[in-house]
Structure 1
Amino acid sequence: MMEGDSPSITCSDEYRLLQTYCLKRRKSSTKTSACVLNAQSEIFGDVAEKLTRIVDSGLLVDDGIEADSVNTDDIEKLVELLKKSGDELNEKIQKNHELVGYLQRTLSYDFFDKLTTAFITSVVPEYLQSRSKHEQIALTFEVTSRLQALDLHPMNRVMGFGAQYLQKYFAPWVKQHGGWEKAFDDDDEEVH
């Protein structure tokens, strides 16, 4: 069993919520994914919708940086690409054969952790991170969604990494706020 694929991860609320979120973000749903979405929408649909609204509220602003002109390491290149439109992401990464090879060789939970943390830090300023858990969680969902769309590894592997990341960094906060649905009640925290 590969890292990120353990039954405890794939059966977790975080994993199932990631599935729901990714299916909502996908432009064209297959019959199978529609069935999964319908079954999970009763439990996680509202939360996934709120996460989508948070991400779409202007968190990811295109800052005009072209990935090809950035002279940085691979994680910083990916962070910049992830900030851009999800539709353009796969195309740009697939054109960069060096980056594709690097991702195929090195995509592990540790890499996912570093990439997601760098992405969140680049979008949510450090001084706001203690106050904007909703945004950080929504960005984790968005990173997972965009990475799983790259088709570099089996979807469940990236989803497992996303679920592990959520459990590691946000599960205590979610539990403290009464679980996923209650933590994302509109009255619980204002979106910045």
Structure 2
Amino acid sequence: MMDGDSPLISCSDEYRLIKTYCQKRKKSNTSLMQSACMYRLEAQIGYDQFDNVAEKLSQIADSGLIFDEGLEPDSPVAREANSDVIVKLVDLLKKSGDELNETICSNQELLGYLKKTFSYDLFKKLTQTFITSSVPEFLQARKKREQIALTFEVTSRLKALDLHPMNIVMGYGAQYLQENFTPWVKQHGGWEKAFDDDDEEVH
């Protein structure tokens, strides 16, 4: 098992793309003036080659893919998560917004759980539950773009909690992408080409 903070992970395309995505999401929460200034600065120094891909991933994540409704306790997704805490955390992550950090930090049970047990295995469970709650298993073979966008989004939302060093969270996100989606991305010509068109995927 790779360490989310290893040099191999932090130098990968997946890690750099997650970093760009998280910066884009953070900018979307700042004032328009600040965003414009930051965008101009990044454009001047050629900040990131993945900006277009991050933009497309943001659009997919914002296209109504993530439902705010909580997971039903008896649903297949909740049963598969096999943990009330995982289900609670996924419900909170789906709501996101400015109150996410405050809500989790004010819930001692969830906060303690995250601080004590945050690991790649926990990240993987949260991400898989988050994805399955939005993209049912029977659609997953032909909905790779959506699943990838959700992986970026859950990584961004976990990073926003500021409970752990950001490079750890982004490293876990990069590792999850490498294990689950990088072969598909390579098969489709790399990150830019894989998100180059809006045609429905054929597997």
Q: What is the aligned counterpart of 2:60 among 54, 59, 66?
A: 54
Q: Equivalents in 1 of 2:174, 2:52: separation in Å? A: 18
Moved more, 72-81 or 169-178: 72-81
Q: Equivalents in 1 of 2:187, 2:171: separation in Å? A: 23
Unaligned 5+ segments in structure 1 are: none
Alignment-derived partner of residue 169 in structure 2: 158
Contact 2:96 2:157 in 1 (8 A): no
Contact 2:61 2:149 in 1 (8 A): yes
Change over 3 Å in CA distance of 1:127–1:94 after alignment to 2: same
Change over 3 Å in CA distance of 1:15–1:39 after alignment to 2: farther
1:147 aligns with 2:158: yes
Deviation readout 1:23-81 (Å, 9 max, x if unpaired): 00002379xx866786443x10000000000010001122267xxxx9x6111111111
Percent sequence identity over matched residues? 68
Give 1:45-124 correspondences, 5 Å limit. Answer: 45-63=51-69, 73-124=84-135
What's the secondary structure of 1:86's corresponding residue?
A: coil
Contact 2:70 2:91 in 1 (8 A): no
Which structure's CA Rg is the greater one? Answer: 2
Alignment-derived partner of residue 178 in structure 2: 167
Change over 3 Å in CA distance of 1:36–1:159 after alignment to 2: farther
Contact 1:104 1:152 in 2 (8 A): yes
Unaligned 5+ segments in structure 2 are: 72-77
What's the secondary structure of 1:151's corresponding residue?
A: coil
Q: Normalising by the residue count of structure 2, what TM-score does the alignment of the two structures yield?
A: 0.82
Length, aligned pairs only? 182
Q: Normalising by the residue count of structure 1, what TM-score does the alignment of the two structures yield?
A: 0.87
Deviation readout 1:84-137 (Å, 9 max, x if unpaired): 133221121111011111101101001101110111011101111011101000
Alignment-derived partner of residue 6 in structure 1: 6
Q: Equivalents in 2 of 1:48, 1:189: separation in Å? A: 19
Change over 3 Å in CA distance of 1:17–1:127 after alignment to 2: same
What's the secondary structure of 1:178's corresponding residue?
A: coil
Contact 1:134 1:189 in 2 (8 A): no
Q: Equivalents in 2 of 1:39, 1:158: separation in Å? A: 25
Alignment-derived partner of residue 17 in structure 1: 17
Alignment-derived partner of residue 44 in structure 1: 50
